């Protein structure tokens, strides 16, 4: 269902021309977004083992490292569609995976891509794919809106010099591509322990996969491969940061590193557990610009941040006032918004797999509302079945009676309608406290359940409206051609709404 401009009239959006620029003639900093594809807090500076991330660790030592940042969706296109405009994907009707690619959809009136707002005040924009003729970024957009005009001026790093101020974005390659070609970790950009032996940093012998997977050689191999791709990502980022310095741009450039969504593992991406939503973020401030009062080099912040907060904060760095009605808050700068108590996230249709999950995350507790309890981890999805060999392995082991305890519970065909996790004491989110009678748990459940209801109303959550059958049908057909017709799956069931 399309969102009309009338529906969003209450947002009171204004254009950049009306949102007064504070200092029209002042020098503006360059801004570099380094968007890490598909990772959780799997960096050395966050305490991760079996990875080598010296570039990002050094950036954190000189910048601010954030520990409680959450994407608004556990999958790329809805998440990117949200932080690229500073609005929840569920408000702008961009919440279903790779939707609106060919239907002429336009963003609601007043909602604009961040690059357009920056260009209004003189920024040169770049989505960097190459540096020195070599690929350093994927050039990925993956937005659920395609009719908004040109978003970037270039894809080449070399075009940045002489075009200041610039806003540049680099989307990392490693964890994204490795899931498809299965060989990315062997590329030269991956850091090796020994060049002669080609020994990987992470191996089947030294990794410790989460307890919700079986202890199996394939699981360990996949986990090591993922961690090695993160080490390779850091090597690429190190090259970019070195080039920034060599080009004489570092002292004028704010560097913002953050993940677009959670970890690329079977229980991560697509799911609203922390593994699908919890992302790293590091911000480094340049020498030639006065740092905001709440910036302290080498510090760690535990404030709760949503990725849509990055949009208004970035605009603030560029001297642009936060547009009225933009849902993201400013978390660093001289015009801070009130701190968040909760970060809200949503999962809706992903490819052919229709689902609806809503998430409320505080500093300690995490609440999930599952609107289709008959859709859980074992639900079929072509992407997951093809690219994540752990999942078919678990199907096989389950059929053979070889799964038990936590992995067997993950393969259950159903999931509780409500889940509550104490992330401090249960970081893998295994023990559901939604039915606990402990006072602290009951209080958290009631508070977060109420907060979700208010958020859904105030943000006009479009997930309550099923997609028309003509949109869902082609995805269904592709899935049926691949899998046959699973008994549980039908468009009628998919579009059934639960109270």
Position 297 in a domain = yes
107 in the same domain as 58: yes
Position 398 in a domain = yes
Residue 362: domain span: 347-466
Please give the tally of structural domains in the chain: 2
422 in the same domain as 333: no
Position 89 in a domain = yes
Position 471 in a domain = no
Position 161 in a domain = yes
389 in the same domain as 282: no
93 in the same domain as 200: yes
Position 25 in a domain = no
For residue 223, pLDDT beyond 60: yes
Instruction: Tell me how far CA of residue 310 lies from CA of 86, 301, 436, in angstroms.
Output: 7, 15, 35
370 in the same domain as 283: no
Q: Which of 340, 361, 376 is the last residue of a domain?
A: 340
* pTM of the predicted model over 0.75: yes
370 in the same domain as 294: no
CA distance 276 to 210: 14
325 in the same domain as 424: no
Q: Give the tens place of pLDDT for each residue, 273-327.
A: 999 999 999 999 999 999 999 999 999 999 999 999 999 999 999 999 999 989 9
Read off the CATH number of the domain in which 366 is found: 3.30.1120.10
328 in the same domain as 302: yes
For residues 396-407, average pLDDT: 95
Instruction: Tell me how far CA of residue 197 lies from CA of 53, 193, 201, 204, 207, in angstroms.
Output: 21, 8, 12, 16, 19
Q: Give the tens place of pLDDT for each residue, 418-462.
A: 999 999 999 999 999 999 999 999 999 999 999 999 999 999 999
- The pLDDT, as a whole number, for residue 498 is 29
385 in the same domain as 301: no
- The pLDDT, as a whole number, for residue 23 is 54
202 in the same domain as 87: yes
For residue 178, pLDDT beyond 90: no
197 in the same domain as 171: yes
For residue 200, pLDDT beyond 90: no
Position 396 in a domain = yes
Read off the CATH number of the domain in which 64 is found: 3.40.720.10
Position 318 in a domain = yes
320 in the same domain as 373: no
């Amino acid at each position: 269902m399309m969102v009309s401009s009338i529906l969003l009239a209450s947002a009171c959006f204004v254009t950049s021309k009306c949102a007064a620029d504070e200092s029209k003639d002042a020098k503006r900093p360059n801004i570099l977004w380094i968007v890490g594809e598909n990772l959780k807090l799997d960096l050395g500076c966050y305490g991760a083992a079996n990875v080598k991330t010296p570039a990002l660790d050094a950036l954190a030592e000189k910048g601010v490292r954030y520990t409680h940042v959450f994407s608004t969706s556990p999958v790329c296109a809805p998440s990117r569609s949200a932080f690229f405009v500073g609005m929840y994907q569920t408000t702008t009707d961009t919440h279903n995976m790779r939707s609106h690619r060919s239907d002429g959809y336009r963003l609601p009136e007043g909602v604009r891509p961040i690059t357009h707002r920056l260009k209004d005040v003189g920024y040169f924009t770049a989505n960097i794919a190459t540096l020195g003729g070599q690929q350093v970024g994927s050039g990925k957009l993956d937005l659920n809106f395609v009719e908004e005009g040109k978003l970037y001026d270039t894809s080449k790093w070399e075009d940045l010099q002489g075009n200041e101020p610039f806003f540049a974005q680099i989307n990392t390659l490693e964890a994204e591509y490795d899931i498809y070609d299965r060989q990315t970790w062997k590329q030269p950009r991956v850091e090796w322990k020994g060049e002669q032996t080609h020994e990987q940093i992470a191996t089947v012998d030294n990794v410790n996969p989460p307890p919700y997977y079986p202890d199996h050689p394939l699981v360990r191999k996949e986990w090591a491969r993922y961690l090695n791709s993160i080490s390779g990502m850091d090597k690429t980022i190190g090259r970019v940061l070195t080039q920034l310095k060599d080009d004489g741009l570092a002292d004028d450039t704010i560097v913002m590193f953050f993940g677009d969504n959670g970890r690329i593992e079977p229980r991560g991406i697509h799911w609203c557990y922390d593994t699908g939503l919890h992302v790293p973020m590091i911000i480094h401030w340049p020498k030639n610009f006065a740092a905001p009062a709440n910036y302290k080099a080498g510090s760690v912040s535990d404030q709760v941040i949503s990725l849509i907060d990055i949009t208004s904060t970035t605009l603030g760095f560029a001297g642009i006032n936060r547009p009225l009605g933009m849902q993201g808050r400013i978390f660093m700068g001289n015009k801070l918004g009130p701190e968040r108590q909760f970060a809200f996230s949503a999962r809706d249709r992903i490819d052919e797999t229709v689902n609806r999950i809503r998430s409320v995350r505080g500093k300690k507790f995490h609440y999930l509302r599952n609107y289709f309890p008959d859709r859980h981890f074992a639900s079929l999805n072509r992407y997951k079945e093809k690219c994540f060999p752990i999942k078919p392995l678990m199907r096989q082991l389950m059929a053979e009676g070889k799964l038990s305890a936590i992995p067997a519970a993950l393969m259950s065909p159903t999931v509780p309608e409500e889940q509550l996790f104490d992330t401090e004491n249960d970081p893998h989110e295994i023990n559901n406290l939604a039915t606990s009678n402990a006072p602290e748990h009951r209080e958290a459940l009631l508070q977060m359940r109420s907060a979700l209801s208010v958020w859904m109303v105030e943000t006009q959550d479009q997930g309550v409206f099923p997609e028309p059958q003509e949109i869902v049908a082609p995805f269904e057909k592709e899935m049926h051609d691949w899998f046959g017709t699973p008994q549980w799956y039908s468009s009628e069931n998919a579009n059934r709404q639960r109270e």
